[in-house]
Amino acid sequence: MAAEQLNPPDLKTILIEIDGEIGTLTLNRPETFNAMSPDLIEDMVEAFAWLADQAPLRGLIITGSGAAFCAGGDLNWFKAGMEDDSVDIKASVRRGAEMLHQAIVDLQRIPYPVIAALNGPTAGAGFSLALACDIRICSENAFLACAYGRIGVSPDGGMTYFLPRVVGPSKAIEILLNDPNLTPADALEAGLVSEVVAPDELMDRAMEKAEKLATKSPYYQKMAKKLVHQSLDNSITEQLQLERHGIADGMGTADAMNAVAAFLSGGKAEFKGE
C-alpha cells in the first residue's frame, strides 16, 4: 500500500478518521443538520472513491456530527436557485443528483462492511445514504423519513432502488406515499435498521460491530457483497456462474489455504487479506 493511500483526502464538509483497520466518516455540517449542499456532495464523491479504491480498511462507520445523521438535500441551496433568475434550477439539481449518484455507486463498491450509525434525524437523501450502507444501527434519538413528498419532488440518492429491496415493493410504496416520521421502533419492525441503542452507546456499538466483522476474510466479505448486489438483476443461471468463479478464485488465496489447514487441525483461522 503506497504511503499516500494511507492518508484520507482533506475535505471541507466530511471528516474521515482511521482507528486501526476501521474508518469513521462523519458528515460535518452540523449547523444545517448535515444537509447535502454542493460542497458536501462533492466531498462525498471524493471520499467514497478513496474508500472504495485506496483506503487500507476492513470496516467503515458512517455517521453525522451534531444532532442529525443527515437531513437530506439543502433546502437553502434549492431556494436560492429558485429565486435567482440567472440560475437554471433544474440543471443545477440535475447536476447535483448526478454527483450524488456517483457517490452512491462508489459507496456500493466499497469491498468491506459499511455500517450507518444513525445518530439523529435521517431524511430524504440522508435516508437514501443510510439505505445504501450494509448495516444500519439506530439511536433512540433518531427518526427516518422519506420527506421528498413534503416539498413535492421525486426521490433520489437510490431511495427507490434500495427501499423496495429492504422492505419489499408494496411496503416501500406505502412508506413513500404516507411519508411518516418512522420512529426507531418503526424502523426496527420494518427491517430498516438491525438494532436500536441508547444515544451514548451508538458509536461504541457500531465500532464493536465493525471490529467483529473485520476479523472475517476480506475476500469473502467483498464477494458476499458483490454477489448479493448482482443477484438482484441476474437470472439464476447468471448468478450461479458468478458463484462458480467466485468460490474457485477464493480457493486460490493464501487466506483460504491457511483457513482450511486451521479448520482441519482444530485451530482458528486468521484472515490477512492475502
Residue 131 sits in a domain of what CATH number?
Answer: 3.90.226.10
pLDDT score at 3: 40
Half-sphere exposure of 96 (CA within 13 A, CB side): 21
Query: Is 270 within a domain?
Result: no
CA–CA distances in Å: residue 165 to residues 140, 161, 170, 216: 24, 7, 11, 25
Q: Predicted confidence band at 269 (pLDDT cuts at 50, 70, 90)?
A: confident
Three-class DSSP category at 93: helix
Which residues, at least 6 apart from 73, have a Cβ–Cβ distance to it below 8 Å?
35, 36, 96, 124, 125
- Residue, of 135 and 85, whose pLDDT is higher: 135
Same domain flag for 23 and 117: yes
Same domain flag for 232 and 113: no
Q: What is the DSSP letter of 145?
A: E
Q: What is the DSSP letter of 18?
A: E
Query: Is 272 within a domain?
Result: no
- Residue 4 scores a pLDDT above 80: no
Range of the domain at 238: 218-264
* pTM of the complete model: 0.93
Tell which residue, 235, 272, 240, has the closest CA to residue 254.
272
The tens digit of pLDDT for each residue in 101-113 reads 999 999 999 999 9
Query: Is 122 within a domain?
Result: yes
Same domain flag for 108 and 237: no
Where is average pLDDT lowest: 123-127, 205-209, 219-223, 253-257?
A: 253-257
Q: Give the mean pLDDT of the chain.
A: 94
- Residue 209 scores a pLDDT above 50: yes
Report the percentage of the chain scoring pLDDT > 70.
98
Same domain flag for 32 and 142: yes
Three-class DSSP category at 97: helix
Query: Is 159 within a domain?
Result: yes
Same domain flag for 162 and 244: no
- Residue 2 scores a pLDDT above 80: no
Cell digits of residue 211: 471490529
Residues 148-163 have a mean pLDDT of 95
Q: Distance between alpha carbon 44 and the CA centroid of its chain, in Å? A: 11
Handedness of CA 178, 69, 21, 103 (dihedral sign): positive
Same domain flag for 244 and 176: no
Beta-strand runs (E) in 13-64: 14-19, 22-27, 59-64
Where is average pLDDT lowest: 72-86, 114-128, 157-171, 187-201?
A: 72-86
CA–CA distances in Å: residue 208 to residues 59, 137, 202, 212: 11, 12, 10, 6
Query: Is 273 within a domain?
Result: no
Beta-strand runs (E) in 50-105: 59-64
- Residue 42 scores a pLDDT above 60: yes
Cell digits of residue 238: 447468471
Structural domain count, the chain = 2
Query: Is 61 within a domain?
Result: yes
Please tell me the distance from the alpha carbon of residue 191 to that of residue 194, in angstroms, as a whole number.
7
Same domain flag for 140 and 173: yes
pLDDT score at 27: 98
Among 213, 233, 250, the domain boundary falls at: 213
pLDDT score at 118: 98
Three-class DSSP category at 220: helix
Residues 177-206 have a mean pLDDT of 97
Query: Is 23 within a domain?
Result: yes
Same domain flag for 107 and 202: yes
Same domain flag for 16 and 73: yes
Same domain flag for 103 and 199: yes
Say if CB 60 and CB 210 are below 8 A apart. Answer: yes
Cell 464538509 locates to 13
Same domain flag for 163 and 244: no
Residues 196-200 have a mean pLDDT of 98
Residues 48-57 have a mean pLDDT of 96
Query: Is 269 within a domain?
Result: no
Q: Predicted confidence band at 89 (pLDDT cuts at 50, 70, 90)?
A: confident
Same domain flag for 247 and 120: no
Cell 475476500 locates to 219
